[in-house]
Structure 1
């Protein structure tokens, strides 16, 4: 259904065309498809009524079911990319789903397939080899979803900003549907990766095929993925967000589903496989070729090594095997469908619509197990969402965002500024007042800190007479500025001040190591102005 929504804009702006949707009976995913159509405000027709009409054109993304009962010339568009899978027990043995002659043959009394729009010349050849009659109406049009992806690549920075990725590496997992999918074969992988990857170096997302979401339901899916989602993993919408997340990605973990081919077509970035074989993947298909040439991920703990083992080339080659040279798929399809309708195309042009920005994570961790390592180069800080792995040097908790139990267990408790108040008579803490209150209210807490609107922080350590101002300097990298969350700098300063070393009594510089980057942190006695700032 979502593929149709990428195709139907070829009729946009034409008041001669009316679009109606119906659902072919027998699908396990029908309820989800109807919900998506209703959300768009589109008009639907019950199947029994749809079969009683005659249409100028029937556009479908699958030849399966009783589609042949709909009267009018049929136009088939690809359901995915590459025709990489066969479904055991369905249709012809070893035939690609979507190119299966069992579904493409039409008796004379059934509605004919007037156009089978395909994305690559090899697909026409594969169809001709199994059913020459069906291949007569097959033409290489291209892939309109790919056209949208490529039209949106310049929005990568905007997508990453919407996701809150920043300077982190965005690792995306993609799962097809069915028993051999990532989400079925490796259900614990998202949670293990969320626990393995440092929060300040990586962001995680999972793209799940709409069929799998439809079978489980959103509630059941999110409950199964709760540990990873609680750690900040993104679960994009299956309509358009999945593609914008792939554009934003730095690396991919895939099974044998075709979503990986869109990622490879956008740019040749690292991709690794978790596919372990089975009866669905067709050898020699674009995904089959890709999976044969990319690294395998065995254990979640080996993800960094697997990504480093990727060498450029396989992704680009797989995309070339799945898609004809892009650029004119919209014009090709428009020409063909208007010719079938016997109408002149509208005079206004049409370009693929850029993908919308994806939504950020709905759950953002607010408590971290902080691991501290003192090296000759400085203090290395590695944060993991609390409870996902072994305890660290200290538990750093954001007051007001994390639960009270975590706040009472915190070694470092910090508070961010609140939004401006609209109360007629306002009440607000000063930075000094709140840090004193926090150490009094939470006796297990060793340090309390207030993040100031200026970006500096006021830090109070139990047993120290003075309060400290903490500030982290941004880095410049090839014309870009890299900043870290001030809470990371607070953990570095906290580790220094609770160590056996004498407390600094003047301006001190700390080197804070986050992954491959080093940030300078200044630590000094706080001024009265900083202490009395409202937070």
Structure 2
């Protein structure tokens, strides 16, 4: 391997006719400094390179610049993502005329051989599990194809930094002419492991609470889960009770780029309004895996990362001809239970919790927790610098910033057994048998407001303006029952645990909910679910003449609900 200061046997004078015979060296700010160029082809490769950059943290001898490799259908989002980082960029033509001390990239595609300087190539996924038709050699894993790894029959990468010894063997088998390969582990997998202590923080940001978080992951292309089963996220949201499950969708960044945020929000609008979480393409996907209770995946490498975290994994599509036989992802999907229909998810989750996926994970990620340390040594050798003496650690992922929409309409199935009420809430278009419709006033809109047996309104959370008029809780509930003849119960949510409820037959009641306490935790349930439980209980008999305690079961935890005559404080509470 040539020293960075030595003539490069693969320099641009031989490989790129028309370029200067002596490419300009990138200017360094001082003696001993080095320039690193990150060659970015798409948003996903940018994200992978950003996971690697901590190897240079704290070293003012290293200057980092980015360039966009032309030719990708997904380069628009790469430019947008680059702009968000505040990184300094170099036009591709200038990058081809400038020699850097290190060129770092995470995709072998494009004219990377035109970039002067020693080049290091990393994978941009896990396990080399996909072979893409129409891109290079048939049935050769993407990332290991000689069509992309060789230029004029010679390797253009001076170093392949791989995640596992098996990958090095596969590289040698598919492209024996490729340059040197070293096994350093996977920096992104290490970031995931580093983020595990933040699990509760992520779940709080998502509003998961005691519910089970089921994350769907879809790669890109015609064999992806979302391409083969586009209605699948909406089917799960309509099937799983809202108070027992939260559903999130992780799409490949290429799908975000190809479709665009506007169309994604439009296509998935009903599911999003029912509470589906759509992860942002950078970093948020990883926080969701850490927060998840289970993952449903196709043949994309996100499923391997989920298994590395110990999450139960269910396969929903095997990728057809894109799945590389005997790859870690193929072995994972062969072991994981398969989900043929959305209604089979509870059974599949039970099977997934009993399935051991350590073998495919062990063949995908080596040197766990040490990837950046090992990679730092190899990259600093290419730079011709002594590596910094301090430790390098993978940073945890930030908490999710996507806030799921709060549903405004529910179809409610309620079962009353004495003083215990079990409530399951679904989107209004569910095919599940239901007891009544419940809606938020006025956000639900005219149709649901006219049809709902239960209407609720939340008390104001923002400061009131200087001049304003407000309903009292008593006044608003009376007004709603007068205006909406189909409504049987109107309720004002005064706080997380306090509701004023007016029923046509039972009159005014104060409803107080206790949180569930156990194993050192306090779990709060949605008060609007409690309203539906009280409504169903009141429908079964005469109104209570004295304080009464119900047990409301919304799925994860049962909570005591106290009914009592309404007091002046609740009646006069300003909404």
Aligned residue number for residue 278 of structure 2: 235
Instruction: Quote the offset at 1:401 in angstroms.
Output: 3.2
Between 1:373-382 and 1:117-126, the stretch displaced more is: 373-382
The more displaced of 205-214 and 455-464 is 455-464
| CA apart distance, 1:188 | 0.6
Aligned residues: 530
Correspondence for 1:487: 528
1:72 CA drift (Å): 0.8
1:96 aligned counterpart, secondary structure: coil
* Alignment correspondent of 1:263: 306
Q: Does 1:126 align with 2:170?
A: yes
- Is 1:92 the counterpart of 2:137? The answer is yes
Q: Which runs of 5+ in 2 are unaligned?
A: 1-45
Q: Choose 399-408 or 320-329, whichever is displaced more.
A: 399-408
Aligned partners of 2:314, 2:279: CA distance in 1, in Å? 20
Deviation at 1:115, TM superposition (A): 1.3
Can you list the C-alpha shifts for 1:413-447, whole angstroms capped at 9, x where unaligned? 11111024242244332221221122223232111
* CA distance in structure 2 between the partners assigned to 1:112 and 1:454 by the alignment: 61
How far the C-alpha of 1:356 sits from its partner, in A, is 0.3
The worse-fitting range, judged by mean Cα deviation, of 69-78 and 439-448 is 439-448
Q: Secondary structure at the match of 1:523?
A: strand
Q: 1:456 to 1:208 in 2, by over 3 A?
A: same
Please say if 1:437 is aligned against 2:482.
no
Change (3 A) 1:274 1:471: same
Q: Given that residues 163 and 364 in structure 2 are in contact (C-alpha distance below 8 angstroms), is that contact kept between their aligned partners in structure 1? A: yes
Check the 8 A contact 1:471/1:489 in 2, yes or no.
no
TM-score (norm 1): 0.95
SS at match of 1:133: coil
Residues 1:505 and 2:505 aligned together? no
Other-structure match for 2:210: 167
Deviation at 1:534, TM superposition (A): 2.6
Shift of 1:376: 6.0
Corresponding position of 1:294: 336
Q: 2:345 aligns with which of 300, 303, 326?
A: 303
How far does residue 277 in structure 1 lie from its aligned partner after superposition? 4.9
* Secondary structure, aligned partner of 1:511: strand
What CA deviation, in whole Å up to 9, does each residue of 1:297-350 have, x standing for no partner?
Answer: 011111111111225454322211100031211111111111111112234432
* Aligned-pair CA distance for 1:122: 0.8
Q: Deviations over 1:352-383 (max 9, x none)?
A: 11100012434221111111122368221111
Q: Deviations over 1:455-508 (max 9, x none)?
A: 2111111244x4111122222222212221111111111112233x11111112
Partner of 2:28: none
Q: Tell me if the contact between 1:164 and 1:360 (Cα under 8 Å) persists in the aligned partners.
A: no
Q: Which residue of 2 aligns with 1:428?
A: 470
| Residue correspondence of structure 1 range 279-428 to structure 2 within 5 A | 279-375=321-417, 378-389=420-431, 392-428=434-470
Bigger shift: residues 376-385 or 136-145:
376-385
Q: Give the distance between the partners of 2:184 and 2:503, measured in 1 at CA.
A: 67
Shift of 1:111: 8.1
Mean Cα deviation higher: 523-532 or 144-153: 523-532
8 Å Cα contact 1:74-1:111 kept in structure 2:
no
Counterpart of 1:532 in structure 2 is 572
Distance in structure 2 (CA, Å) of the matches to 1:448 and 1:515: 24
Instruction: Return closer, same or farther for 1:158/1:47 CA change in 2, 3 Å cut-off.
Output: same
Question: How big is the alpha-carbon RMSD for the aligned residues of Structure 1 and Structure 2?
Answer: 1.9
Answer yes or no: is 1:474 the counterpart of 2:519: no
Check conservation: 1:170, 1:205, Cα contact below 8 A.
Answer: yes
Greater alpha carbon shift after TM alignment, 239-248 vs 474-483: 474-483
1:241 and 1:357 in contact (8 A); partners too: yes
C-alpha contact 1:172 1:251 (8 A) present in aligned 2 = yes
List runs of 5+ in structure 1 lacking aligned partners: none
517-526 or 171-180: which moved more? 517-526
Residues 356 and 277 of structure 1, relative CA distance in 2, 3 Å threshold: closer
Q: Deviations over 1:264-293 (max 9, x none)?
A: 1112x3211112452111111110001001
Cα distance change, pair 377–272 in 1 and its aligned pair in 2 (3 A): farther
Q: Counterparts of 1:4 and 1:325 in 2: how far apart (Å)? A: 19
2:33: which partner in 1? none
Residue in 1 aligned with 2:101?
Answer: 56
TM-score, with structure 2 as normaliser: 0.88
| Cα distance change, pair 368–311 in 1 and its aligned pair in 2 (3 A) | closer
Identify which of 242, 260, 269 aligns with 1:199: 242
Question: Structure 1 CA distance, aligned partners of 2:169 and 2:204?
Answer: 43
In 2 relative to 1, CA 233–149 (structure 1 residues): closer, same or farther, beyond 3 Å? same
Q: Which residue of 2 aligns with 1:66?
A: 111
**Which stretch of the first structure deviates more once superposed, 51-60 or 395-404?**
395-404
Tell me how far apart the structure 1 counterparts of residues 430 and 402 of structure 2 sit (CA, whole Å): 21
Distance in 2, matches of 1:448 and 1:228, equals 26
Contact 1:84 1:258 in 2 (8 A): yes
Hey, what's the Cα distance between the residues in 2 that align with 1:113 and 1:161? 44
Q: Do the aligned partners of residues 351 and 277 (structure 1) sit closer, same or farther apart at CA in structure 2, a change above 3 Å counting?
A: closer
Q: Distance in 2 between matches of 1:139 and 1:516?
A: 47
SS at match of 2:270: helix
> How big is the shift at 1:513?
2.1
The reply to whether residue 517 of structure 1 matches residue 554 of structure 2 is no
Q: Is this contact kept in 1: 2:439–2:449, CA < 8 A?
A: yes
Q: Secondary structure at the match of 1:295?
A: coil
Distance 1:510 1:362 in 2: 30
How far apart are the structure 1 equivalents of 2:493 and 2:111?
Answer: 62
